[in-house]
Amino acid sequence: MKLRYDINSVNPIMLVIFSFIIIITPDVFYSMSFNLNKPDNSFKMNFQNQPNSDDSSDFSSDGPIIVYENGNIVSYSIIPADNNFEVKKESINSKDKLTCIIDETGQRFDFQLKDSIHVEKDEYELPNRMLIISDIEGNFKGFEVILKAAGVINEKFNWTFGNGHLVLAGDFFDRGINVTECLWLIYKLESEAEQQGGKVHFILGNHEVMNLRKDFRYVRRKYLVNADSLKLNYQSWYDVNTELGKWLRSKNAVEKIGDFLFLHAGINKSYPAESLTINEINNNIRVTIDKSFEKGEASKDNFIGSKGPLWYRGIIKEEESQQDIDQTLSFYDASKMILGHTIVDKMKYMFNKKIIAIDIDHQENSENGIMYALYFENGNFYIIDNNGIKEDLQ
């Protein structure tokens, strides 16, 4: 079924009736087009738990959201169509070519679903080259700029980094308005990198786990409006029966590459005392993602709580001593820990070069036409900018 109408002039009563029809006929596959000719899009919804009442993000392109329903693979998407947005729900095959559209820039890229998804390894050999970045938070334009500058992708969003590694240290969710697009690009590059002997490491941050656990405090309004338009509750977008939900649950919170530890926030000095290996941390976080807690208890959990590897700020805030850092690294037979999560003015060494802090304000930087990432090559760390210029990490 395909309907085309001006969303500004539609009778509210008819919209309610139409929505009711869709709700009671969930097996209908549909395509709807919303006319956006008028600049004032009056399709406004109120959502509970909306964290930012000033959020002006609204109905926009999104998807595909791939859901496994009753033995079928179902794709939900919102795509630009002339002056319209077309809302689609369709059954697909596992080998179909899928398209992700970045409405903000008019770009697109194609990809296919993976044949299978497996839990990632915890440890890897050190490659000659790595690009390392964290806390992109749905900023697709900034992400694209730095990937191109570092030679990781080309204009067609294809992997060009050969056997190099791309390390993404968490928090690609929330705050921005192109989260889905960032996730599918990472998903696509992961497959292409492996074909060339390279690797994409997508490491979980607190915002990935928040969304998997249905904590939507920082989700932009766009996603709630889009979910309503798709008739697909946002709470189900990353469930275990979705492609991105399965894929995210295969990821680690801590990885060791060579003798470097990569994680989102930091390993609390108490962790070695409890003899938690990297594998034990990762397995426990994966189990805890879908665990139910009494109100307020999750924040106290050793794995996803405020003192766990997804949230802990004590290292970057210098609440630990050099001895604490040395003991933690010694326990994991590591020489450095590379951390995001806590913003610093500039990527830098800390604690006698045992810690590298990499979280900077990417959103503000990209709005000013600049981007930075950490670059590793032949044993040395650099800061690389949006022009591909490297400077020694200090």
> What is the average pLDDT value for the chain, to the nearest integer?
88
Residue 235: pLDDT above 50? yes
Where residue 35 falls among pLDDT bands split at 50, 70, 90? Answer: very low
- What per-residue confidence (pLDDT) applies to 140? 96
Q: What is the pLDDT of residue 82?
A: 81
Q: CATH assignment of 123-392, given 3.40.50.1260, 3.60.21.10, 1.10.3720.10, 3.50.30.30?
A: 3.60.21.10
Mean pLDDT over residues 372-384, rounded? 98
pLDDT digits (tens, 9 = 90+) for 351-361: 999 999 999 99
**Angle formed at CA 359 by CA 304 and CA 307, multiple of 5 degrees:** 25
Q: What is the pLDDT of residues 306-336, one digit of tens each?
A: 999 999 999 999 999 999 999 999 999 999 9
Top-confidence residue, 38 or 161:
161
Measured CA to CA in angstroms, residue 90 lies from 25, 241, 257 at distances of 14, 16, 41
Instruction: Decide if pLDDT at 130 tops 60.
Output: yes
Q: In what order do the strands lie in the sheet with 372-377?
A: 199-202, 165-168, 129-133, 372-377, 380-385, 390-392
Once rounded to an integer, what is the mean pLDDT over residues 180-202?
98
Contact 78, 85 (CB under 8 A): yes
Helix (H) or strand (E) holding 34: strand 31-35
pLDDT band at 88 (very low <50, low <70, confident <90, very high): very high
Q: What is the mean pLDDT of residues 133-140?
A: 96
Q: pLDDT at residue 3 above 60?
A: no
Residue 346 has pLDDT above 80, yes or no: yes
pLDDT at 6 over 60: no
pLDDT at 270: 86
At 1 the pLDDT is 36
The pLDDT, as a whole number, for residue 29 is 53
By percentage, how much of the chain surpasses pLDDT 90? 79
The structural domains of the chain, with segments of one domain joined by +, span 2-111, 123-392
**What was the pLDDT predicted at 362?**
95
* pLDDT-derived band at 23, boundaries 50, 70, 90: very low
pLDDT of residue 301: 92
First to last CA, the chain: 59
For residue 83, the model assigns a pLDDT of 80
Tokens of 89: 């729900």
Nearest-CA neighbor of 43 among 278, 228, 219? Answer: 228
Please write the tens of the pLDDT for every residue from 267-302.
Answer: 999 887 677 899 999 999 999 999 999 998 999 998
> What confidence score (pLDDT) does residue 31 get?
55
DSSP track, 57-98: --S--EEEEEEEETTEEEEEEEEEETTEEEEEEEEE-TT--E
Contacts of 329 (CB under 8 A, 6+ apart): 261, 335, 336, 337, 354
Comparing 278 with 20, the larger pLDDT belongs to 278
Q: Are 339 and 356 in contact (CB under 8 A)?
A: yes
Q: Over 80: is that where the pLDDT of 198 sits?
A: yes
Confidence at residue 273, expressed as pLDDT on a 0 to 100 scale: 65
Tell me the mean pLDDT in the region 135-150.
Answer: 97
Does residue 368 surpass a pLDDT of 90? yes
Residue 52 confidence class, pLDDT cut points 50, 70, 90: low
